[in-house]
Amino acid sequence: MNQRVREIVDLLVEMIANGVDPADTEMSLIERLVRRGYHLGEIGEAFETMLSLPSRVTLTESGETGRMRTHLSSRRVLAPDERFALTTEAQGALMRMVGSGLITDVELEETLLEVVGQELREIGVSELLLLLMRIIRDEGRRTAVALNLFRPRAADVEEADLN
């Protein structure tokens, strides 16, 4: 990893440490990084690096010995053909729902297999919802996914209020 990619990774780590989800602000972050002189390839490599690392390490106390165990959870990194098929907004929404437990890992893989297998392109949030409604069997989670995909995000509401 070159120095410029490390700088981007450091910025992403700082954002996460401050409670900002890079997936929520990915487009504005990319635009700011490009204005600072970073290339899209470097930005993409930094995002891949971040998404391939464990997303969190949780320390838990183990029994009476008081020893600490480390539990790692990691994020699925989208392959280039998967990223190409989904819009940035759909990618972020999909990963947020997996992270929150609305979509299982199996459902994620099934969705991505369908997207890539049918050679679909520019899948947006609406198309993603249609795919997920065919894949998710649990009616309660289907409703939660639909609400999650179409709820106004805080940044969108603030921007609308300003206009």
Domain boundaries, the chain: 1-56, 78-152
Give the per-residue pLDDT at 20.
66
* DSSP for 105-162, written as a single string: HHHHHHHHHHHHHTT--SB-HHHHHHHHHHH---HHHHHHHHHHHHSPPHHHHHHHHH
List, for the chain, all residue ranges whose pLDDT scores fall below the cut of 70: 1, 16, 19-27, 50-75, 152-163
Q: Give the bridge partners for 60, in sequence order.
A: 69
Predicted pLDDT at 13: 73
Looking at residue 110, its pLDDT comes to 92
Question: Which pLDDT does position 10 carry in this prediction?
Answer: 82
Provide the whole-model pTM. 0.52
Give the pLDDT confidence score for residue 35 in this predicted structure: 87
Amino acid at 117: G
User: How is residue 64 annotated by DSSP?
Assistant: T
| Other beta carbons less than 10 A from residue 96's beta carbon | 16
- How confident is the model at residue 22, as a pLDDT? 56
Collapsing DSSP states into helix, strand and coil, what is residue 14?
A: helix
Looking at residue 9, its pLDDT comes to 80
Q: How many CA atoms lie within 13 A of 146 on its CB side?
A: 11
Question: In 3D, which of 10, 88, 104 has the Cα closest to residue 49?
Answer: 10
Question: What is the pLDDT, as a whole number, of residue 11?
Answer: 80
> 88, 47 in Cβ contact below 8 A?
no
